Chains A and B, each alone.
Chain A
Amino acid sequence: MILLVGGRLGLVFFLHMSLHMAQRFCYLSSVKTISKGDHMQGERKEVQPEYLYRQMVRARRFEEALASLWRRGLISGELHLGTGEEAIAAGFAAHLEDGDAIALDHRSTPPLVCRGLPLEPIILELIGSEKGLCSGWGGHMHLFSRDFLAASSGIVGSSAPLALGFALANKHLRQGKVAVCFFGEGAMNQGMVLESLNLARVWKLPVIFVCKDNRWAITTRSKNVTAGCLTKRARAYDMPAWKVNGLRVDDVCKTAKRAIERAREGRGPSFVLARCSRIDGHFLGDPLFRIFEEPLEQVKTITPPLIRSAIAKPGAPSGARARALFCISKAIALAGADKLKNFKDPLFISKNLILEEKRLEIEREVFEEIEKAVRTSLEVAGLKR
């Protein structure tokens, strides 16, 4: 009897070990195929703080460069910067490798930069050049890179089902490869995201849902329109859900590793709620933000009709009107807050992860890298610097 049980255990152990070794082997052979330049890191290696810091600075300087191109009128439409989300982008991208897919929302550039995409094609795309990443057709909300299995969309929530598809394809075609989707906390109320959580679980897909919680959806404070707790919501779909401080790149990196390894091993989906900030408003030129930045000019146009309406008859009782006015002014007052506070800036927070000397060196190198990318792109597009 004991022998029998022992034999069975032995068999199970043997099977387990051989599976494990097979996975190891798969992993090793995949590492050899990593070819996308020096931004890639093998997952089993410890990710160095210098590496993470560099990626964050790259993402930040890139966003700043885009902002200045936007201000020059060279980028059209809405430009949603991902400033405040760099730690999330860097922390997750550090664990991704060839064959892994990413599905992105309207703040797509930091993950793309951290993932190691060449910068010039992105810049060229955003300035509307036919030499851009998508030949000038996509623009900043619709960036696609087939090589990196990276796709973005401006429809809130759509990154979740897309990632399911990437994950299912990976399950068939690229064993051990995963899909990561990024979306905001506002998107957590979009039906297709909730349907995706369920589907990911019942199909046991290698997908990681990364919810970037900056507490805003345009001018709406998400807590006012969101019931319950988001990690509990995800756990209700029977998957692990972790809350991390998305401003701390080391924390994100650790959780990302856990979630991604889990998916690689075929143990199914997980959910990460990462608190972050929205440093530059919803998009550049955000009207709430402008009230904050140039109060006199904005107040002149907004206040008179607002006051006229607030006292016009007939209408709601005065208590209700007061509540409405309070809500409007609160949104305005809070909109700029993330910009003012250093402790909401992931770069500032991460400064002490590495030595000052090294940090300055990284910052200098990144500054040059981004400047060169912008310079080259403008030259290619035939524009002045």
Chain B
Amino acid sequence: MRVSFATAIEKAIEHAMAEDERIIIFGEDVHLLRNNLYARFGPERIIPAPISESAFLGAAVGVAMAGLKPIVEIMLVDFIAVAFDALLNQASKVKAFSGGKWNVPVVIRCSCGGGYGDAGQHEQCLWGLISSVPGISVVVPSNPPDAAGLMLSALNAEDPVVYLEHKLLSEYWLDYLGAGGRKNVAFDIPESGASGEIEIPPKNVAIGKASFLREGSDITFISIGVSVHRCLEASKALEREDASSCVLDLRTATPLDKESILEASRTGRVVVVDEDYLSFGLSGEIAAVLSESGYRGAFTRVGNTGVIPYARHLEDRALPSVDSIYEAAKKILGT
């Protein structure tokens, strides 16, 4: 069935919650954000929380350790900062510290990403920052089937998974935070990301498995989230100039699918496109993976180099765009 990105996630959760009574959801405003699940599974399993992220994210770790499967919601990933201890020092450490005898099956669901003029306290991606902590998986779906499939896998996982839902793909987030019902504001929403076909029940998508969206021999784009769609756009423009591009959608930031990255790099020209911060993040990690494997080809990256500004025109310049990707590609192609 054809569904929106957000509905795909909801279908996956609905299916999983019906099968497994241990799944509960808590977070701010979940009684309305997840009103359909609330109406079906009731106030015992969908639990609204006060604005106390450090307490309820910390609690989620304990809940998971003691036998339930929480989906804990941090509205915008930026807000995880106030609760970072739960992630950095608790959730990620239990398995190792217990000698592998105790694990934390928690799913942390957050919206992320920019493109609607809300500035750098509400539009960050932070998958790089979170991925830098060993012991956590971070998934970033770019279309409805992946959104559903990765949610199912996250709910089946034994260890903590941060599930990031890009706001340009999730219509309700974009409507709340960007449009507010207005028809006179425009957003660059990738069609094939915002809606698509899913199966019911949805099919699992393995965590840590990238997907080739396009095969090509001249240049490779490696990306994640909304930027994947920008890469696809750029590759169409390049095709008109007879350059064929390979586009790899990582889908999972960590663990990285190194095998697919290496396979994709065979064109000898790699462009990593990352909406997250350029420094100390995913793009540098991919460069390291390539370099350690003996890759000797060309490499460049497009990413966000500073704080995301508020004004739409400044924001457009800060986030990866089809134009900036195209420019980077032309440079590396030497044309």
Give the contacts of B297-321 with A (CB-CB under 8 A): 307, 309-314
Contact B82 A190 (CB under 8 A): yes
In whole angstroms, what is the CA distance A242 to B122 when docked?
A: 33
In whole angstroms, what is the CA distance A314 to B16 when docked?
A: 11
Interface segment, one of A46-54, A231-239, A268-276, A319-327: A319-327
Expressed in whole angstroms, the minimum distance between the Cβ of A92 and any Cβ of chain B is 23
Whether B225 sits at the interface, judged by CB under 8 Å, is no
Also in contact, A141 and B119, with CB within 8 A (given A317-B42, A323-B42) = yes
**Chain B 1-24 per-residue mask, 1 if CB under 8 angstroms from chain A, else 0:** 000000000000010001000000
Also in contact, A190 and B18, with CB within 8 A (given A141-B122, A320-B43, A324-B46) = no
Contact A309 B310 (CB under 8 A): no
**Of B40, B79, B175, B310, which contacts A136 at CB under 8 A?**
B310
Whether A359 sits at the interface, judged by CB under 8 Å, is no
Contact B40 A321 (CB under 8 A): yes
**Of A78, A141, A192, A308, which contacts B180 at CB under 8 A?**
A78
**Chain A 274-315 per-residue mask, 1 if CB under 8 angstroms from chain B, else 0:** 000000000111111010000000000010011011101011
Contact A305 B36 (CB under 8 A): yes
Whether B257 sits at the interface, judged by CB under 8 Å, is no
In whole angstroms, what is the CA distance A24 to B307 when docked?
A: 45
Contact A320 B42 (CB under 8 A): yes
Whether B182 sits at the interface, judged by CB under 8 Å, is yes
**Of B18, B29, B39, B182, which contacts A324 at CB under 8 A?**
B39
Also in contact, A285 and B43, with CB within 8 A (given A76-B310, A153-B121) = no
Expressed in whole angstroms, the minimum distance between the Cβ of B37 and any Cβ of chain A is 7
Expressed in whole angstroms, the minimum distance between the Cβ of A330 and any Cβ of chain B is 10
In whole angstroms, what is the CA distance A229 to B55 when docked?
A: 19
Of chain B, the residue at the smallest CB distance from A153 is: B121
Contact B311 A225 (CB under 8 A): no
Contact A306 B310 (CB under 8 A): no
Of chain B, the residue at the smallest CB distance from A323 is: B43
Contact A128 B313 (CB under 8 A): yes
Whether B54 sits at the interface, judged by CB under 8 Å, is yes
Contact A72 B31 (CB under 8 A): no
In whole angstroms, what is the CA distance A153 to B120 when docked?
A: 11
Contact B40 A327 (CB under 8 A): no
Contact A77 B40 (CB under 8 A): no
**Chain B 28-41 per-residue mask, 1 if CB under 8 angstroms from chain A, else 0:** 11011101111111
Also in contact, A191 and B82, with CB within 8 A (given A186-B50, A324-B38) = yes
**Of A128, A156, A224, A284, which contacts B312 at CB under 8 A?**
A128
Whether B89 sits at the interface, judged by CB under 8 Å, is no
Contacting residues, chain A, for B116 (C-beta < 8 A)? 76-77
**Chain A 126-154 per-residue mask, 1 if CB under 8 angstroms from chain B, else 0:** 00111010101111111000000000011
Also in contact, A136 and B52, with CB within 8 A (given A191-B82, A323-B42) = no
Whether B51 sits at the interface, judged by CB under 8 Å, is yes
Whether A331 sits at the interface, judged by CB under 8 Å, is yes
How many B residues touch A, CB cutoff 8 Å? Answer: 54
Contact B309 A324 (CB under 8 A): no
Whether B65 sits at the interface, judged by CB under 8 Å, is no
Of chain A, the residue at the smallest CB distance from B55 is: A191
In whole angstroms, what is the CA distance A288 to B81 when docked?
A: 28
**Of B42, B182, B309, which contacts A285 at CB under 8 A?**
B182
Contacting residues, chain B, for A72 (C-beta < 8 A)? 184
**Of B44, B52, B54, B117, which contacts A320 at CB under 8 A?**
B44
Interface segment, one of A31-39, A200-208, A213-221, A370-378: A213-221
Contact B52 A328 (CB under 8 A): no
Contact B39 A287 (CB under 8 A): no
Contact B117 A77 (CB under 8 A): yes
Contacting residues, chain B, for A217 (C-beta < 8 A)? 28-29, 50-51
Of chain A, the residue at the smallest CB distance from B314 is: A136
Expressed in whole angstroms, the minimum distance between the Cβ of B4 and any Cβ of chain A is 11
What would 10 more interface pairs be, CB under 8 Å, given A141-B122, A155-B121, A217-B50?
A: A70-B182, A73-B185, A136-B310, A189-B52, A190-B53, A191-B52, A285-B175, A285-B181, A310-B39, A315-B18
Task: List the interface of chain A (C-beta within 8 A of B).
Answer: 70-73, 76-79, 125, 128-130, 132, 134, 136-142, 153-157, 186-187, 189-192, 217-220, 222, 224-226, 283-288, 290, 302, 305-306, 308-310, 312, 314-317, 320-321, 323-325, 327-328, 331
12 A-B residue pairings within 8 Å (CB atoms) = A76-B310, A77-B178, A155-B81, A225-B48, A308-B36, A309-B40, A312-B14, A317-B42, A321-B40, A324-B39, A328-B32, A331-B32
